[in-house]
């Protein structure tokens, strides 16, 4: 495994478990988002690929809206 891959790939994130527990699909977040959130962004977030802070915020806002709960970034991602 190269150092570059290690820096970008963090493995499955807590977001994936939250989505499963709430029976939400990536499409539910895309539909709930008022910003330009794509299915690819949500899939990358759940798989643990590094996202920009702006993309992480879009995912967070969409999850909070779709679930009716208030999550923090540290609840969804195990990297900064």
Of 40, 51, 38, 41, nearest to 10 by C-alpha is 51
| Report field, pTM of the whole predicted structure over 0.85 | yes
Give the CATH number, domain containing residue 67: 1.10.260
Walk along the chain (80 residues) and give the pLDDT tens digit of each residue. Answer: 555 555 788 999 999 999 999 999 999 999 999 999 999 999 999 999 999 999 999 999 999 999 999 999 999 999 98
49: containing domain: 3-76
Q: How many CB atoms lie within 10 A of CB 4?
A: 8
């Amino acid at each position: 495994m190269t150092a570059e891959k290690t820096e970008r790939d963090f493995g499955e994130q807590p977001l994936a478990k939250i989505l499963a527990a709430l029976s939400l699909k990536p499409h539910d977040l895309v539909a709930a988002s008022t910003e330009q959130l794509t299915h690819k962004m949500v899939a990358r977030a759940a798989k643990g690929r590094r996202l920009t802070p702006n993309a992480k915020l879009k995912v967070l806002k969409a999850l909070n809206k779709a679930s009716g709960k208030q999550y923090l970034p540290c609840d969804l991602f195990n990297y900064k």
